[in-house]
Structure 1
């Protein structure tokens, strides 16, 4: 429903980056000269933060009072981050780095080239990645709010959509999945490289879900979980593409997560078409950007109303 692209990158920004039109003059004063401009629920928003965002807006070719627009955006980002933390949503560094790499690649740049452009523009890679992290987390918060408000189709809506489609029920792929986790405690992150090699070795031997527990027996701190049947529209966004590309009996690439290192085994897959599938498919098709935008505005207005925002 809530695509990160909707919030992250405008077409004008992509064109500006691709063309390399970097406004070097926008580079702001050093962090040492930074002053607190706003305090949002006891969290400071500094002139350094605002200058970085103003440079970001300029690179997007936004018009208007960029400093005020940047200040408003940073206040709202602070509110979003606080809500993300309250909900217990955690976006890993790996997920942020992957999004950064994808955006650089979409502009035919390496991450290093992308970082150089952002730094010269006065934005900095760190500010841009903070922005990515906040938007990814906010997307999850919006989805949770949508579900909590009963954002589902009624049976009448499903019937109406089916009639519009000629009475045919849509189909979707149903996967039987298994999750293999090589646990890495938070205090032992230095072992991530070793655990990743172990996971890669097990993944290379993976030939179906029946034998995975046998492989795991001789390994320390390895958890094998049967995830059951999952329809394609229900797949976690961070795994969906890899799962869809992986053949039955195979496993996805190894991924670092907040739990450690893991991969997903595809035990089986089949095409199904029933009332539950129809409702889910039709519902996913009707979750528009307009709905997302409206919910975003209402959610932010609610957070602003409850917040204590002091301008210095």
Structure 2
């Protein structure tokens, strides 16, 4: 799983991609549960932290769902040992994963499988898996992602020569040069909607936002335009690269010419309008090159992460019973 250095997406999204198949399988399969163990025995100690037979049974059934029955019990044991080590290292580095983060990741998995979180939990139980098993796996992955990023972010570098060589092999230089990457100078503005606004106040704020947009003719005159309108506030200019833009606002910026403003978009404060002061090509960068740079960074980072985990295991006391 790519947990390092990708510029788009989040740890939660990458976890969702990895195990989305699980939700579908869990919903469609009704693997008979082997039954909850009346007694739970400690099978492994990882730096005095136990891995129980209950943990192993549940992780085994979870892996069987995600691999189509190809995973064995030993793989479940190895995963659980690694999870204990990851969480122990996160604790040592004062990295905590909030329950809300785990719940959001779990909900993302459910959404991609077109299930509610409650229905995903039901599907897992029908397949003999305690939903807490998947949540524990998610927690360990999120924590490990934070640990590795804090440990190796400054160590992972990819030279322009490496990018050029990989790009030539992958796409050819002529194709790589076709799509430029842009940077933007932006002027945000807000047409404020009061808390608990009436429909009339909401409509007035939208009208003022549209008036600001229609009169906007470049960032230099934005303050004068705002002064003539009630409730419109101009904020400080910001610089953003294309890869940093996302969501509805990002799409609106990409579709707007320099010297023009985006359509109003409702936010918590009110109606946001973004003036595009300037749009420039970043010299020497293309979308294809950025994708290759991300791939190389991820490969290098994941190699370091695997070695990091091997080192943790070598320094740990792991007792199998």
Match of 1:26 among 16, 24, 34: 34
CA-atom RMSD in angstroms:
4.4
Judged with a 3 Å threshold, the aligned counterparts in structure 2 of structure 1 residues 10 and 112 are, in CA distance, closer, same or farther, namely closer
1:69 aligns with 2:75: yes
Unpaired runs of 5+ residues, structure 1, are 179-197, 216-224, 255-261
Unpaired runs of 5+ residues, structure 2, are 4-8, 189-194, 213-222, 254-261
Match of 2:86 among 68, 80, 84: 80
Judged with a 3 Å threshold, the aligned counterparts in structure 2 of structure 1 residues 292 and 148 are, in CA distance, closer, same or farther, namely closer
Q: Trace 1:49-68 onto structure 2 (pairs within 5 A).
A: 49-60=55-66, 61-66=68-73, 68=74
Query: Structure 2: how far apart are the matches of 1:228 and 1:311?
Result: 56
Deviation at 1:233, TM superposition (A): 3.4
Query: Structure 1: how far apart are the matches of 2:92 and 2:273?
Result: 34
In the alignment of these two chains, the number of paired residues is 265
CA distances 1:49-104 after superposition (whole Å, capped 9, x unpaired): 212211211222232532x2211110001111122333444433333222222221
Deviation at 1:173, TM superposition (A): 5.3
Match of 1:273 among 272, 276, 281: 281
The equivalent residue for 2:292 is: 285
The normalised TM-score by structure 2 is: 0.62
The equivalent residue for 1:17 is: 26
Query: Structure 1: how far apart are the matches of 2:266 and 2:40?
Result: 45
Query: Structure 2: how far apart are the matches of 1:267 and 1:304?
Result: 51
Q: Trace 1:1-312 onto structure 2 (pairs within 5 A).
A: 2=3, 9=18, 13-19=22-28, 21-30=29-38, 33-60=39-66, 61-66=68-73, 68-152=74-158, 154-157=159-162, 161=167, 164-165=173-174, 167=177, 170-172=180-182, 174=184, 228-234=238-244, 240-241=246-247, 244=250, 271-275=279-283, 278=285, 282-288=289-295, 290-291=299-300, 293-312=302-321
Judged with a 3 Å threshold, the aligned counterparts in structure 2 of structure 1 residues 105 and 10 are, in CA distance, closer, same or farther, namely closer
